[in-house]
Structure formats: C-alpha cells, structure tokens
Chain A
Amino acid sequence: MPPPPDFHLRSHPILSIEEGPSVSFTFNGETYEAREGEMIATALFANGIRVFGHHAADGAPQGIFCANGQCSQCLVIADGIPVKSCMVPVQPGMDVRSCEGIPELKLTDGLPEFQEIETLKVQALIVGGGPSGLTAAAELGKLGVDTLVIDDKHELGGKLTLQTHNFFGSIEDCYAGVRGMDIAHILAEDVNQHESVKVWLNSTAVGIYCDKKVGLLRDGQYVLIEPEVILIAAGAREKGLAFPGCDLPGVYGAGAFQTLVNRDRVSPAERLFVVGGGNVGLIAAYHALQAGIEVVGLVEALPEVGGYKVHADKIKRLGVPIWTSHTVVQAEGSGSVQRITVAAINEQFNVIPGTQRSYEVDTILIAVGLSPVNELLVKANEFGMKALAAGDSQEIAEASAAIFSGRIAGRKVAQLLGHNVDIPDEWYETADVLRAKPGKTVPLEQADLVESGSFPVFRCDQEIPCNPCTEICPTKQIEIPDDSILGLPEFVGDSCIACGKCVLICPGLAVTIVVKKDPEKKTVDVLLPWELPLGDLAVGSTVETVDAEGRALGQGLIKKIKLGKYADRRYLMTVQVPYDQRLLVAAFRPVPISMPCEAEDQVTSDGDPIVCRCTRVGKSKIVGEIRAGVRDMNQLKASIRTGMGACGGNTCTELILRLFREEGVDLSEVTQPTHRPLETEVPLGVFAGAKPNKKAK
C-alpha cells in the first residue's frame, strides 16, 4: 500500500520547517501519523482529510471554518468526547472519529475529585497577547503595574505570528521592514522583561459576569479574575459572505488559511481562489504562493482593491489575476469545494448576465473584512467596570497601527489605575498616520530620473504609512519629501552604491535598483527582490520579466542570486534585462504563467445560501421572517434558530443585518441580538473544578 499523502510543508522560503517527532492516531479506525503537539484539525489536513463530519440538521459536510476556536464546524469526537479539532492537540494513540450528527454523551465516568475555583485579583487584565495587548503590557510593565496578559494560543503575538511578510509603518514606531512573525517575538521578549507582567498562554476569557469577574479557561482549568481595569485587545474576526455553497468544507477565512499554512505548516490547498481584495486577501494570496499553492484568481466587488496597491501588484506580478468589480456567485463540490463561479457586477453590485465563469479550485478564501471582537468590552462597560479596548478590538486597522496604539492604551490603563503618566500628543498623531487607509495613487514619473549612475526605482505610487527605505539607505539618499511617512519616497542623491538594502527591506517589494554598468547601453543589470521558493531558479536561468503590475515585458537572465546577512530570507537577484526596459522591469516570473483553465459548463445557481452555519439556516428563511415583519434579532433566534449555535451569532449577525438592509429595512428599526456568556463552550466539569479524569486519557 502506498504511504498516505503528507501535506506538511517540506520547505518554505521564510518559515523554518522542523520535522518534529511524530505520533500515531486513528481517524474513523484508520491509523495516521501526526506531528507531536499539532492540533487534531491540522493533523487531519496534513493527511489530506478535509471533511470532519456531517451536520445533524441536514447531513451537510463539516470541516475547518475559523481555525480559531470560535465556531464549531470542526467538531470531532476525540476519545469519546466532542472537541473543537482546531483547538485540541493530538495525543499519541488518540481515537478520533468524525462527528456524524449530534454527538453522544459518554455515560461511563465516575464521580471526579473536585478542587476550589480560584479567584485572582490583578490591577490590569489584558485579554489578548497580540500586537496591541503586548505593547500595552510593556507600557504597564515599565510602570510596575501588576498586569496579567492572557492569550488563547500557545505563543504570544496573536495574528502577527502568521505574517511572513515585512511590515509597513515606520521603523521607529512599529518595527517596519521586519516580518510580522519576528515582530511578535520582539514584542513578546519586551513584555517578558517586566517582572510585574504575568503572561498566561492557552487561556481563554469565556465570560464577564455582573459581579465584575472574568471567567478564564486556563490550560483546561477554570479561574476567576477580578481586575481593577480590563483592556480588551482580542483582535478581530473575519466577516462572512453568504453565497450558494459558502458552507462547503474548503470555503473558509483567509485568517484560518494563514493559521493552517504559517502556524501549522501544512498545505491545506492545491488550487485556491481569494474573495476580497483588502490587505488580508492580498496577503493571503501571497502567503499561498510562498507555500507553493496555486492562486487561481482574486475577486473584489469594488472597482479598486481596498488593500495596499503594492500588495496587489506583488501578486499580480506573480501571475495572479485580480478581477475588480467581480463577485463570487457560488461554490460547488460534492463533500468539499471543487469549483467556484465568479461574475462581473455592476455599480449596484448585481451580477451582469453572461459574465459568469467557473474555475476548478479546492479552496476558497473569504477575505471580505474584519469586525472587532469587542463583546467583552460591551459587557464590561455594561457592568460598570473600568474597561478599554485596543487594536482591532477598538478599531480595525493594520497591525502596525495596533503595535503603536497599544502603547497609548497601556498608558490609559495606567491613568485609570491612578498613575500619573501623560500621553504625548505626538503619540495620537502617529497612531492616526499608522491607521491611515491607503491614500491617493500618484502616477510615477520615472522619465525625470537623472541617470548619472546606479539608482533605485520606486514603484511605491500610493500614499501609505511606510518609511523603511529612507531609514535603511546607508548613504541617506532616499527621502520622503513630506513631513509625514504617508508621502512617497524619492531618490535624492546621485551616488547610489547599489547595495540593495532598500530592495531587501521594502515591504511592498516595490523598489528595484538599476545598476550602472554597461556603457554601450544594450543591456543593464537590475536588482530585484525574491522571496518565493527558488525552485529551479539558478544563475543562468532565463525568466520572464514583468512590469509593476505584472504585464509581461520580455526575458531576463539571472546573473546572481544573493542571500546576504541583511537580507532576512529575501533573495537579491541580479537580472540582466534590455537597456530600454531598465525602468520598467519590476519583477520576474520563473516560467510564463498559464492562465487558469475555465471550467466548461457555466452554471447559474439558484441555491439558497446558508447564513447561520451553526444551525444551518438559509437566506430564504430569514428573508421570509423579515418580510413577515420580524424586526428583532432575538425573535429570529426564537423562530428560526439563527445565532443559537456554537458561535453565538458571531458569524451570522452581520450577514443577517445585511439581509435586513437588502430588504429595505432601516437598521434603526432592528433590535440587535442579546449577547450572553459564554464566549466559547466549556465542559461542566471545568466549571465544577473537576480534576482531569486520568482514565479518559
């Protein structure tokens, strides 16, 4: 028998791949191998298993959706107990079974031993050890404030740990030019220096109660925290999109994808499609390419992508088509996704007839925006606690902005605790700049360049907060003429030494250097960045050169491949190109990219999209209730059970509000659903203080 396929990543240009010890487990009776310590969901994906069970209501296949413990779609039965497979590590010999319908309660356990539930008082509780939580904690640590940081993951950094790309922003304020995953380590180390700051990993805040206590699940034990001030820095959750087939395994959030690839180091897809052209979608596409996954295309409903243009250009240059004013029409597949249909839309966002086309894919990433995770803040405020939010929990913005604004939040917490610290006005100004949405695009005027020697070419034509190139240039010949880092960089000198540092640090891969060499002006060397797998690329390879937005220009010859000590896992490629293309060549592709094949028969779906995936409620049912006069989301819960499932309405509430709008209902007439504890499902035994039953292991 051939060995089962292993979808663990074997190599990655940025991430280190360590082959840890493996353990055996069974899934539905078959034996599989997993890496020690990896989550059950990851182990299943690594073995090519993407359907984890079938829903009790209608038998619909279930699999990964949030990969973040928030939904319950990845439920499996592990050693007889239903668990969220994305949150529970595989144990050696674990008997994992797919969850088919409603799970059975194991009725065999004897009475456990109990221990008291502890209550711990702290001055400051920070929920979330991501960018803003960590910088807030560091500020509090400097002041000696008794602080507890909790995070539900096994390492600090939040979503930073999933970001393999270099960050934007400024070097001074938020480590611009450093990869997100490395910033996570820097911030975590900074926090760990402070004695007054405790960090609890694997700790989830499950609820805030009216007696101003916060219930935590820490390593499987329940603890109550009584903080003087609580800072919610819990980040964001991904918005959903309801279309026929949106509930198939293989359709999931871009964040979930990043978790599987960049944290868990598995390749969850072979051919994927991205829906949404914000930074999250654009970056996810790039991360897929880094992991060797084919990206068939990306659609964006608006006429322009919402993310940074440099991010969009980066993936276009690698051959990923970006279709703006397009939407996803449906996903199809038996058991899991096999095909996506997209179409052009008009200004009213309606599909233009005859523009549908389908592509064979196994994965569809949804990246249509983020919503703040702020339920705990709302509750804390309701109960009269001293409470603040930071980062995405406060306002959705780039992680670089969260890194900085966390410092402000930290000082505000200190002020609430009576510390006499001030928050400089400049901090607020900096925070505003880092939060800035992409500004206008300025056409580049490369023709004005004075070509007296080597010189950098900037393809940074959109106002975004970023300045590493100006800081890194050893001869200080790159400047942003404006006061703000939102401005565009310019080469202001005449003696570029072609060191390549600006090429290597630019987060947007938007700088190249034209090296002055050939006096006959027939060919010229350009320095280009490269941070994908090298594959067959070698000195002497011929590559297809492209311009900034990915249009093919011609051919180039690789003359040098360098991975220097300043390079931070990014190759500096010297490519020889025709002299007259020196300003145009922005990148290259290893081989000409063939456009993805369209599937043959084009289908128009009249399927009813699932809106509430926990209780499997379709759009038509909800619209029916709205038309019957229901204006109270709590009544929808009662009548058709939307929002009554595992995620507590976190996934469907926004989608349902959108349906109200589509039906012409003024949202001021709509009563929002009541939110109650718990934030995640917890076994009764944990609340009772039951000591883990050894027999169960």
Chain B
Amino acid sequence: MTKTSYDIVIIGAGSVGNPAALFLAQRGLKVLVLDQHAGPGQGQNKAAIGGVRATHSDPAKISLALNSLQHFTTFQDTYGYDIGWKKGGYCFPAYDDTIEQTLKSLLQTQHSYGLEIDYYDADFIRQIVPGINEENLRGGTYSPGDGQVSPLMYADACWKVAQREGAEYHFNETVKAISLDRDRVTGVVTDRGSYTTGMVINAAGAAARQIGLLTDLNIPVQPDSHEAGISVPVKPFLDPLVVDLRPGADGRTSNFYFGQNHEGQIIFCYTPRKLFVGENIQSSSEFLPIISRRLIDLIPALQNLMVRRVWRGLYPMTPDGVMIVDEVQSLSGMYLAVGMCGQGFMLGPGVAECLANLVIEGEPTIDRDIFSDLSFSRDFSAHTETLK
C-alpha cells in the first residue's frame, strides 16, 4: 500500500466536512476527505430538512449562521450549481404570552449581531403564512433573510466544486486509527489505506465520539434522533419556514417546524418532548399521526396534502446544545467540528469557513470571545440557550 501525504485529512464528508474541504482546498491545502458512506452527505446531512436561519439566541450561532447564509445565497453565482436556495425567511408565530415575550426578548441580541428580524402582528403573520389557524394568534417574528437549501443538492454540488478545487474524497472507507507522534497528529489509518498528515479535522457527525476515542479524546457527543417527512410538491404558497414553539397537546412533542422547499414540497419535523437517545434512524409508527395533527391544527388546509416519504435522522448532541469548534490543545493538529446538535446543515459552511481560517491563519472568522463559547474545554453544564 502506498502511503500518500496530505496537508489535512477531514473525517466526514457531511454538512461540515464537505464545505471544509472546499474552503481548505480553495486556500491551497492538499485535502483528503474520508467517509464511511458511499457518497457525500450520506450520513446525517441528507436527513436535514434544509432550513437555514440566523434566527438563534446564541451570538456564535447567529454569526456563523449569517456566514452560512452568505455562502448559500451566493453559491449558484459563485460556483454555477443550483442548490435549491429559497429565500423565504423564518416565521415564529406566537399563540401565547410566554412565547411572545420570549421572541421579543431576543430581538435586541439578534439585531446587535446584524440579523434582520422583527416582531409583527397577527395580520402580518396571516399574510405570510396563508391558511394559518387564527384562533389566539397574537403575532410572531419574521426574519426575511433566512431561507432554505436542498441538503441533497448542496452536498452533491459542494463535493463537485471541492474536487474541482483539488480536494480528494475517499468513500466507503472507515477510519481505524489516527497516528500520533507524542502530542502531534502524523497520519490516519483506514480499512483501505494509511495517509500521512499533520492535521486532522474530526467532522464525523454522529460518529464524532468514536473518532475522538481513537486518540483518547472524550468528546461529549451523544446522538438522539428526530423524525421528518416530505410531501408531494404543491404550488408555492408558503414563503417562510414556520417554527411553532408551543409544546403539543399530544404530550409527545415540544416544538415543530415545517416549510415549503424550492420544488414546492412541504418538509416537516418535530422535536420530541422525551428525546430518543441512540442511533436508530428508522421511521416509527408514532411520527405521522402526531406531526399530521400538529400541522393540520396550525394550517387546516394541510389535511389535503399528500405525504410522500418519512425518515429519521440523528442530532449529535452536546450536553449544552451548542457545537464544539476548536483546535484540541492537548493534541497538536487535531481540530474538532462536532456536536452540531441537529444544526450541522445550516451552520456547516459558517463553521467550515471559521475552521479553515483557524487552520490557516490561526484565527476564527468570528470574535474570539464568542468563539470561546464553542470551545472543547468549556464547562458544558454552564451554558443555557433560549432558542435552540
């Protein structure tokens, strides 16, 4: 077996690894991406519903998401590939005082990091969410700069562009070991070969913990699973992605969210009240009756909408619900972009760009003081996030 040398090896061709390969290759590094799946984005990336919002409460997330949005909105013009971008904004309707106050309380932080968002009255929400149940509707936020991308189209396009820029991808290849020279990364060994490199990015998504353990790093990432579904296409009628923060009367759901993609299909998902911890990605019989009821309660006309497919994906969770983006202090050349907590797709390009900057210039793309919120050595029990 020949031993090939790379500047950097990225483990995982998913939401983060794929754009990271693009950015690093663009900046002249010799990049190898390894993925155990048969193609790009075939892990949890393809399970994403594709919503991209900077509407967060955490400053680091707001900043990185704004960078992601910049990347997604300019992707087709820059690289020539359609990624199904639809700028329709996000709408968080409020049906009770608590949610109204929560949403309003976030506006100041959101504005301070440059997010275009406001709280609007019920009339406005009725206009942007046609057919919405008006009973007790108080109003809601709307952030017109947010939108949606097709995770499938993006993964494919990003892979093609990254290769054009010189990145190499090896699929169906599983990382078995990471070679070290004392506290320095020196290479990667897989089931198909071994490679020398001074830098490794762990962007292994749901498998991030296992990759960490190869170098005795205990990365606190534990996946839980969320189910999702997609309808047949219908004529565009719904611009924004809608997030209903109310817990469901069903007792099973906390919030739920849905939107109409660039092809006219409605994509929908809910957050279970009791999380399904583990790596099961098979659809359960519970999902459809529960989500259907919630969707129809919010927009009664959706009762006629035909569901085409359902699936289930993993959220690689950290204890505090915020991702880890960092260089490992104890292990030179080891970078982490893990624990994306189900937001890997929307935050992926922003995180990847930040990481590329960190690798090449030693500095993140966002302020050090908010970047430290993403540190691997932080106290994971301290952080609380209002809007996940």
Contact = CB atoms under 8 A, between A and B. Distances in A.
B93 to A, nearest CB: 16
B303 A688 contact: yes
A215 interface: yes
Interface in B153-171: 153, 155-157, 160, 171
A172 interface: no
A209 B304 contact: no
Indicate the size class of the contact surface on chain B.
Answer: 35 or more
Given A107-B130, A646-B232, A671-B39, A117 B306 contact: no
A169 to B, nearest CB: 40
**Secondary structure of the B side of the interface?**
mixed
Interface string A89-102: 00000000000011
B237 interface: yes
A630 B38 CA distance: 9
A108 interface: yes
A635 B305 contact: no
Contacts of B152: 637-639
Contacts of A648: 308-309
B304 A109 contact: yes
Contact of A639 (B156, B289, B293): B156
Contacts of A109: 300-301, 303-304
Contact of A634 (B38, B234, B295, B307): B38
A383 interface: yes
Contacts of B231: 684
A597 interface: no
B321 interface: no
A66 B191 CA distance: 45
A638 B232 contact: no
Given A107-B130, A211-B285, A638-B46, A632 B305 contact: no
B235 interface: yes
Contacts of A382: 282
Given A103-B234, A111-B133, A639-B156, A630 B304 contact: no
A5 interface: no
Contacts of A49: none
Contact of B232 (A383, A628, A681): A681
Given A111-B133, A210-B284, A676-B309, A684 B302 contact: yes
B306 A682 contact: yes
Contact of A211 (B41, B42, B286, B306): B286
A349 interface: no
Contacts of B296: 111-112, 684-685, 688, 690
A683 interface: yes
A382 B46 CA distance: 21
Contacts of A686: 292
Interface in A417-433: none
Nearest to A114: B293
A681 B306 contact: yes
A401 to B, nearest CB: 33
Contact of A222 (B156, B264, B289): B289
Given A210-B280, A630-B39, A635-B156, A111 B307 contact: no
Given A637-B152, A687-B289, A687-B292, A105 B237 contact: yes
Interface string B266-293: 0000000000000010111110110111
B233 interface: yes
A16 interface: no
A215 B39 contact: no
B297 interface: yes
Interface in B37-89: 37-42, 46
A117 B41 CA distance: 35
A648 B308 CA distance: 8
A384 to B, nearest CB: 11
A639 B153 contact: yes
Contacts of A671: 38-39, 172
A215 B285 contact: yes
Interface string B220-247: 0000000000011111010000000000
A213 interface: yes
B114 interface: no
A365 B78 CA distance: 47
Nearest to B286: A211
A696 to B, nearest CB: 8
B306 A104 contact: no
B193 interface: no
B38 A631 contact: yes
Contacts of B306: 82, 681-684
**Secondary structure of the A side of the interface?**
loop
Contacts of B311: 676
Interface in A652-697: 671, 676-678, 681-690, 693
A682 B289 contact: no
Nearest to B163: A629
A108 B264 CA distance: 19
A287 B141 CA distance: 63
A634 B40 CA distance: 10
A693 B303 contact: yes
A521 interface: no
Contact of A105 (B157, B286, B301): B301
A408 B371 CA distance: 66
B133 A107 contact: no
A462 B330 CA distance: 78
Given A207-B283, A683-B307, A632 B171 contact: yes
B283 A681 contact: no
B302 A209 contact: no
B107 interface: no
A112 B303 contact: yes
A110 B38 contact: no
B300 A112 contact: yes
B28 interface: no
Interface in B2-40: 37-40
B310 interface: yes
Contacts of B304: 81, 105-106, 109, 683-685
Contacts of A108: 301
B132 to A, nearest CB: 10
A102 B282 contact: no
B154 to A, nearest CB: 9
Contacts of B234: 102-105
A105 B305 contact: yes
A56 interface: yes
A639 B289 CA distance: 31
A46 interface: no
A224 interface: yes
A15 to B, nearest CB: 34
Given A638-B46, A683-B307, A684-B296, 13 more contacts: A104-B237, A105-B234, A109-B300, A111-B300, A209-B282, A213-B285, A632-B39, A635-B39, A677-B309, A678-B307, A683-B306, A688-B296, A690-B303
Closest 7 CB pairs of A and B: A685-B303, A638-B152, A210-B282, A635-B39, A632-B38, A632-B39, A688-B292
21 contacts: A104-B234, A105-B234, A111-B296, A112-B296, A211-B284, A215-B288, A632-B171, A634-B38, A634-B46, A635-B156, A638-B153, A646-B232, A646-B308, A671-B172, A678-B310, A684-B303, A685-B292, A685-B296, A687-B289, A688-B293, A688-B295
